[in-house]
Amino acid sequence: MHTTTAEPSWTALLHDHGLRATGPRLAVLRSLWEHPHTSADQIVQDARLRLERLSAQSVYNVLADLSQCHLIRRLALPQGPGIFEIDLHDNHHHAVCTRCGRVVDVACAVGHAPCLTPSDDHGIAIEVADVLYSGLCDDCRHEIATTNPEEQTP
């Protein structure tokens, strides 16, 4: 849940992007606002709590439409399915626990957007840098230390 930012007016945002504010679109956006870093299957389940007759295919279509107009973004993780979040256009990054899959937002790494300057951009004007940090979260490290001391990492 976003604690520092007020929930946007989804209807206005959809209209600004040339989209109608349909029930399925609103259900998906509200689901992602309340549960960032969510898989498509989890979004289907949550959106169905808001719209009982919503089909999985409708949710997948909405995810594609909202991704294409940059209202949401899909994050490809090395393990498991891709996840989605509201695209706040704040150029943040992500850290993922390689054991439990927890994903958290990480502020811009260094300087101004796009945060990182490549040593060679190969002629591409970089607009966004997507950085994924991987490691073990505090809970997993604690669990490993108390249940499987031989599994500990330095």
Q: pLDDT, tens digit, for every residue of 72-95? A: 999 988 877 889 999 988 878 889
Element (H, E) at 96: strand 93-97
Q: What is the DSSP letter of 22?
A: -
- Predicted pLDDT at 61: 97
Write the burial class of residue 138 (CB in 10 Å: 0-12 exposed, 13-18 middle, 19+ buried).
exposed
Q: Which two tokens stand for residue 50?
A: 């808001």
Residue in this structure with the two tokens 């150029």, named with its chain if needed: 91
Q: Where in the chain is the domain with CATH 3.30.1490.190?
A: 90-154
At 1, is the pLDDT very low, low, confident or very high (cuts 50, 70, 90)? very low
Contacts within 8 Å (CB) and 24+ apart, 30-36: 32/72, 32/84, 32/85, 32/86, 33/1, 33/2, 33/7, 33/8, 33/86, 34/1, 35/1, 36/1, 36/2, 36/85, 36/86, 36/105
50 half-sphere exposure, CB direction, 13 A CA radius: 17
Output the pLDDT for position 132.
86
Q: Where in the chain is the domain with CATH 1.10.10.10?
A: 1-88
Residue 83's beta-bridge partner residues? 39, 75
Q: Which amino acid is at 101?
A: G
CB of 30 closer than 8 Å to CB of 13: no
- Kindly report, residue by residue over 127-136, the tens digit of the pLDDT: 777 788 899 9
CATH number of 90-154: 3.30.1490.190
Helices 23-34 and 56-68, axial angle in degrees (round to 10): 80
Q: Report the CATH number of the 1-88 domain.
A: 1.10.10.10
Residue 92: what pLDDT?
82
Instruction: Name the nearest CA neighbour of 115 among 103, 133, 137.
Output: 133
